[in-house]
Structure 1
Amino acid sequence: MHVFLTGATGWVGATVAAELLAAGHQVSGLARNPGKAQALLNAGGKAVYGTLDDHQLLFDAAAKADAVIHTAFNHDFSRFADNCAQDQHAIEVLGNALLGSERPLLVTSGFARLVQGRLATEDDKPGTGPEYLRRSEQAAQMLAEKGVRTASIRLAPTVHGIGDHGFVPNLIALAKKTGVAAWPGNGENRWAAVHRLDAAKVYRLALETGVTQPVYHAVAEEGIPMRDIAIAIGNMLGVPAESRDAEHFGWFATFAATEMAASSERTRKVLGWQPGQRDLLTDLADAAYYANS
């Protein structure tokens, strides 16, 4: 099928593009400029040049596609509220282009503040209060109520692999800067994890099986204690691993202390998905993981 993919040059999106192309699908990917799109073009994809604010361009590209996957998100956390609004509007535009058809839309979400004290499941619903700024799933649900075939892919907070520039590399960079690999509090809060190559398969399989579920979990490991992550980082950097208060983590404090553990039991069953890549702590024992942090 012909898939329009936002975020096609990003950490997750580029891997999704490669996964789709390798499976024989056609990919048109949103990219800011030719330089950003080169890897996509080299792999056999096509580029659509623009941004999430180019609503007419998004609508037209989605209208021409057999399916749409939305992985793009601006991760500048100093503008988080604005970025969440941008994301919601983009989803609405993409979905409106699919009204009256059976063509699916996959959007990307996460686990922050979803549940506490237990594993999140595919049945759990995101909060609706004003404190829940990111509304990707709510936007998808509103489109579903209009008849659009939508689903949300919840990505583990750690989508890892060599070249990662997400949350774990922030912890690595902080350890290099301060000389301490730190965890918050008692370090027992857990993060789910998935290798990016395994995550990409969830998107492909969801499309190829007809998007039969409203939510899929791209989760290979249900929950790794933050203490274990910090110890692994400390071992590789040769620095002590210790508990630190919230001030140590700066803007990252809330994320570092949040419980984000999740199950993917249903996703594995309905998609026949079995993660096959190495786990997070194995990645963290590889010196190459520290090169970009």
Structure 2
Amino acid sequence: MRVFVTGATGHIGSLVVPELRSAGHEVVGLARSEASAAALAAAGAEAHRGTLDDLGSLRKAAVAADGVIHLAFIHDFADHAAAAATDLRAIEAIGDALEGSDKPFVVTSGTAGLKPGRVVTEEDPADARATTAPRAPSENAAIALAGRGVRSSVIRLAPSVHGPYDAHGFIPRLIRIAADKGVSAYVGTGSNRWPAVHELDAARLYRLALEAGPAGSRLHGVGEEAVPFRAVAQSIGRHLGVPVRSVPPQEAAAHFGWLGALAALDVPASSARTRALLGWRPVYAGLLADLDELHYFRSFRSRTAVAFEAGRPA
């Protein structure tokens, strides 16, 4: 299968590309720069030059492909609404190009914020009115494509997609905050729960969804259903050698910045239906075990040392 992948040089995309190629698929990745094009070539993939807001380029690549995986997202934490709107327009453009083809179209969303306080399942729809789920309109647009002759599916990723290639996700940010503040914190009792998935398990799920995901299906990229946030903070504190303490909910934003709201959320999620549908079985280390492998802390110290030597903040 010739597969067009947006976000092919990002954290997850750079793992999805070799996963697809090892299964015999041909990969074409969206590249917005010469550096991205070179990275794709090195990975044995073809580059399609364009950007996420170049809708004509997206349509052209989708028409020429046998299937599409959409991973790209503009992570603008200062303007979630604009980033979500760009994402929705890209999905609509690709969907228009695939209409009536029965080609697979795998779109990315997230589990966090859908139904805080209880275990979210694949049966739970995304509420486009919920301010905690800005990508809900994109998710719903992708699911609706199943009624227009597209084998569309949505992978809702856990908030922590962890592993050795995770350099800019929530876990590296929490480590940076703990190092900068001199304390590894959790909010309130820290009993709020986060789901998690190893990056290589997530990459395999994208391939399975492309190959066999039913039209209109919501799939959960969740390896662990509910990791207590306090346990994550304790692990980070132990490995950094800093104290661990609670911060009151009203101080979460001051301590964690924009991550404060998510750090306080209780957002467990199940992947039971996904496993049954696709035979997906996460096999790699869980989040706490992954933290104990220390790659996060080695890479953090390496980046800090390089920045120090260059005379700039890490």
Query: Do these two structures clear the TM 0.5 threshold for a shared fold by scoring above it?
Result: yes
8 Å CA contact 1:163, 1:292 repeated in 2: no
Using the alignment, how far apart are the partners of 1:184 and 1:136 within structure 2? 30
Partner of 1:42: 42
**SS of corresponding position for 1:193:** strand
Using the alignment, how far apart are the partners of 1:250 and 1:278 within structure 2? 29
Deviations 1:186-206 (A, max 9, x none): 111111111110001111111
Deviations 1:68-101 (A, max 9, x none): 0100001120121110000000000011000111
Give TM-score scaled by structure 2 length: 0.90
Percentage identity across aligned positions?
52
Name the amino acid aligned to 2:149. G
Using the alignment, how far apart are the partners of 1:259 and 1:145 within structure 2? 33
8 Å CA contact 1:92, 1:139 repeated in 2: yes
**SS of corresponding position for 1:77:** coil
Name the amino acid aligned to 2:89. H
Give TM-score scaled by structure 1 length: 0.96
Using the alignment, how far apart are the partners of 1:124 and 1:27 within structure 2? 32
Moved more, 145-154 or 52-61: 145-154
* Pairwise CA distance, 1:2: 0.5
The answer as to 2:291 corresponding to 1:284 is yes
The answer as to 2:204 corresponding to 1:201 is yes
Moved more, 87-96 or 122-131: 122-131
Partner of 2:264: 257
Q: 2:218 aligns with which of 205, 215, 219?
A: 215
Name the amino acid aligned to 1:264. S
Q: 1:216-255 alignment to 2 at 5 Å?
A: 216-244=219-247, 245-246=251-252, 247-255=254-262
8 Å CA contact 1:189, 1:225 repeated in 2: yes
Gap regions ≥5 residues in structure 2: 301-314
Gap regions ≥5 residues in structure 1: none
Using the alignment, how far apart are the partners of 1:221 and 1:17 within structure 2? 24
Name the amino acid aligned to 1:149. R
Deviation >4 Å, runs of 4+: none
Partner of 1:29: 29
Using the alignment, how far apart are the partners of 1:138 and 1:176 within structure 2? 39
* Pairwise CA distance, 1:14: 1.1
Partner of 1:173: 176
| Matched residues, number | 293
Residues 54/254 of structure 1: CA separation in 2 closer, same or farther (3 Å cut): same
Moved more, 228-237 or 125-134: 125-134
Name the amino acid aligned to 2:152. T
8 Å CA contact 2:17, 2:27 repeated in 1: yes
Using the alignment, how far apart are the partners of 2:122 and 2:235 within structure 1? 30
8 Å CA contact 2:144, 2:216 repeated in 1: no
8 Å CA contact 2:120, 2:270 repeated in 1: yes
8 Å CA contact 1:157, 1:260 repeated in 2: no
Partner of 1:71: 71
Deviations 1:94-143 (A, max 9, x none): 11000111101110000122112321110001112163432221221332
**SS of corresponding position for 1:39:** helix
* Pairwise CA distance, 1:21: 0.7
**SS of corresponding position for 1:15:** helix
Using the alignment, how far apart are the partners of 1:141 and 1:69 within structure 2? 14
Residues 271/130 of structure 1: CA separation in 2 closer, same or farther (3 Å cut): closer
Using the alignment, how far apart are the partners of 1:102 and 1:163 within structure 2? 33
Q: 1:90-129 alignment to 2 at 5 Å?
A: 90-129=90-129
Please give the root-mean-square deviation of Cα atoms over the aligned residues, in Å: 1.4
